[in-house]
Structure 1
Amino acid sequence: MIPTLPRAGGAHLVVLRNLWVHKGGSPWTMALFSIFEPILYLLAIGVGIGGLVGDVPGVEVPYAVYVAPALLATAMMNSALEETGQSAYAKLAFDRFYHSLIVTPVTVTGAVTGEVLWGMLRALITGTGFLAVIAAFGLVQSPWILLAVPAGLLIGFAFGAASLTFTGYVRGWHDYQYMQLIMLPMFLFATTFYPVTVYPEPVQLLVEALPLYHAIELVRGLALGRLGPSLLLNAAYLIVFGTLFLTWARRRWGRLLTS
């Protein structure tokens, strides 16, 4: 008799499989590779340019302290994107891993949910590693920053689901250049390096519609100890954004794997 699985369709088995594949490298090794680029940004812009900027007007914290939480949010986002983007595409197009998976009791829903959960876990590991770097640089302003790491689960959920949806439409590696056309401008303009108030009001509304803006605002608010209802709105945005894309990903991958 084929064993029955929980309602998630065996998503936990997908996460366990990915953990088994990565068993040769410790979580800290995984985090080290994920945080290398944001460390460079922190040194070059946060610390380097921060020495010229001083305190951020209107926020009244040193520039490096202002930038560090944004880079933390970005690092967690990139970890989720990596796992549900090109890594997932390789398993789909070359290993045919998912086609093999769904002939087992694991369902399409389980495969999709499992990959998003894995992206969330990777975001959590990366966030823990980068938080240690921020602390080592003396950029921690509030104990509430500890909540910024579990907040990475929401970031991993939102961007992991969106990336997995995009991967369902990818025709080849070159298509990921289109993702970069979206991600790079969003990284540069979503208040990573300066407040949203520097923009004209119409542009502010556009920036505030970006998912990375809400990820950064959530992490930055916790990191600076500036709690308020707006953080709940940021979290709600990420939950709704991720849920919509997870539903879309389930439908798209259902067609890919059962057609």
Structure 2
Amino acid sequence: MTLTLTAVAPAPAHRRHVGPAAAVVGRNLLVLRHEWTTLAFGVLEPVLYLLSIGVGVGRMIGTVPGLDRQVAYATYVGPALMAMAAMNGTLNATAQSVFMRLRFGNTYRIMLATPLRPVDVARGEIGTAVLRGTIEGGGFLAVMAVFGVVHSPWALLDVPGALLVGFAFAGIGLVTATYLRDWPDFQLLELVLLPMFLFATTFYPLSVYPGPVQALVRCLPLYHSINILREPALGQVGTNLIAPTVYLAAVGLAGFWLAVRRLDARLSD
């Protein structure tokens, strides 16, 4: 009787050193490559707003007060629509996708059967969402440049700005997904997002509101997201970016912290 020994080749080095969160991101990107149209539509929606409101209505409005001067209406609205693109991209990658995996599939339970932990799942989902939001926001910035809406080289800072916006809303979306019970609950999410989109200085300056409303608007994450993109796009870079940076980073970190605990509770049932 002859015994044959079969050698098992070790995994390639680049696979052996992939972290657990990176493995989740890689898995999500494999799924997303078959859904590339979602990225395209994530850029197309704000482009339609830019054409209809920024350019179309903007011709009737003319200029509006910028940070220190009058600017064309499309120039004013464009960075806000970029913030919307980054926000929508990350929320679609977290609130919707994570909800489906929690509610209708055993994706996470299968993941946790491996050495992955809930914190690794949360990191991977947030990493995927940030990447998606940055791609959609950066794609829209390229469209803005084509339409001649970008007038300052400082607008390149909007790319890392979109990453920070994505991080903040990824944390929000991941936490939200753990509370959603069924598809009708998404209407409640829209009930929050739509007014925030309309009133967070997307289409007109904060000064048009009375004092108490201004205080409320300053609490909105989209307001700070718009500021961190609008100000570099208008050539205003300095200490004015500290407050929105700290705010968005804090929101993202708080969302991640709460999401880890919510996922741990949901997946341990």
| TM-score normalised by length of structure 1 | 0.93
Q: Which residue number in structure 1 is paired with residue 61 of structure 2? A: 53
Q: Is the 8 A contact 1:77 1:156 kept in 2?
A: yes
Mapped to 2, the partners of 1:22 and 1:31 lie a distance apart of 9
Q: Is the 8 A contact 2:138 2:162 kept in 1?
A: no
3-state secondary structure, aligned to 1:61: strand
In the alignment, which of 200, 204, 211 is matched to residue 190 of structure 1? Answer: 200
CA RMSD of aligned residues (A): 1.6
Seen in structure 2, the aligned counterparts of structure 1 residues 167 and 9 have a Cα distance that, compared at 3 Å, is farther
In the alignment, which of 33, 49, 66 is matched to residue 41 of structure 2? Answer: 33
Q: Which residue number in structure 2 is paired with residue 217 of structure 1? A: 227
In the alignment, which of 169, 172, 175 is matched to residue 159 of structure 1? Answer: 169
3-state secondary structure, aligned to 1:227: coil
Q: Which residue number in structure 1 is paired with residue 11 of structure 2? A: none
Q: For 1:113-192, list aligned pairs within 5 A.
A: 113-192=123-202
Structure 1 residue 32, shift from structure 2 partner: 1.8
Mapped to 1, the partners of 2:212 and 2:257 lie a distance apart of 31
Mapped to 2, the partners of 1:67 and 1:199 lie a distance apart of 17
3-state secondary structure, aligned to 1:105: coil
Mapped to 2, the partners of 1:180 and 1:231 lie a distance apart of 28
Mapped to 2, the partners of 1:53 and 1:116 lie a distance apart of 39
Q: Please, which moves more after superposition, 45-54 or 146-155?
A: 146-155
Q: Which amino acid aligns with 2:59?
A: G
Q: Which amino acid aligns with 2:196?
A: M
1:205 aligns with 2:205: no
Q: Is the 8 A contact 2:43 2:136 kept in 1?
A: yes
3-state secondary structure, aligned to 1:194: coil
Q: Which residue number in structure 1 is paired with residue 259 of structure 2? A: 249
Mapped to 2, the partners of 1:230 and 1:209 lie a distance apart of 16
Q: Which amino acid aligns with 1:57?
A: P
| Percent identity of equivalent pairs | 48
Q: Which amino acid aligns with 1:33?
A: F
1:98 aligns with 2:108: yes
3-state secondary structure, aligned to 1:56: strand
Q: Which residue number in structure 2 is paired with residue 228 of structure 1? A: 238
Structure 1 residue 225, shift from structure 2 partner: 1.0
3-state secondary structure, aligned to 2:179: coil
Seen in structure 2, the aligned counterparts of structure 1 residues 24 and 172 have a Cα distance that, compared at 3 Å, is closer
1:66 aligns with 2:76: yes
Long gaps (5+) in structure 2: 1-17
Mapped to 2, the partners of 1:63 and 1:203 lie a distance apart of 23
Q: Please, which moves more after superposition, 184-193 or 229-238?
A: 229-238
Q: Is the 8 A contact 1:38 1:75 kept in 2?
A: yes
Q: Which amino acid aligns with 2:256?
A: L
Seen in structure 2, the aligned counterparts of structure 1 residues 219 and 54 have a Cα distance that, compared at 3 Å, is same
Number of aligned residue pairs: give it.
251
Radius of gyration: which is bigger?
A: 2
| TM-score normalised by length of structure 2 | 0.90
Residues 188-223 of structure 1: per-residue CA shift (max 9 Å, x gap): 000000110111111111101110000000000111
Structure 1 residue 78, shift from structure 2 partner: 0.3
Mapped to 2, the partners of 1:114 and 1:130 lie a distance apart of 24
Q: Is the 8 A contact 1:9 1:109 kept in 2?
A: no
Residues 2-32 of structure 1: per-residue CA shift (max 9 Å, x gap): xxxxxx9711111011112223466xx5532
3-state secondary structure, aligned to 2:59: helix
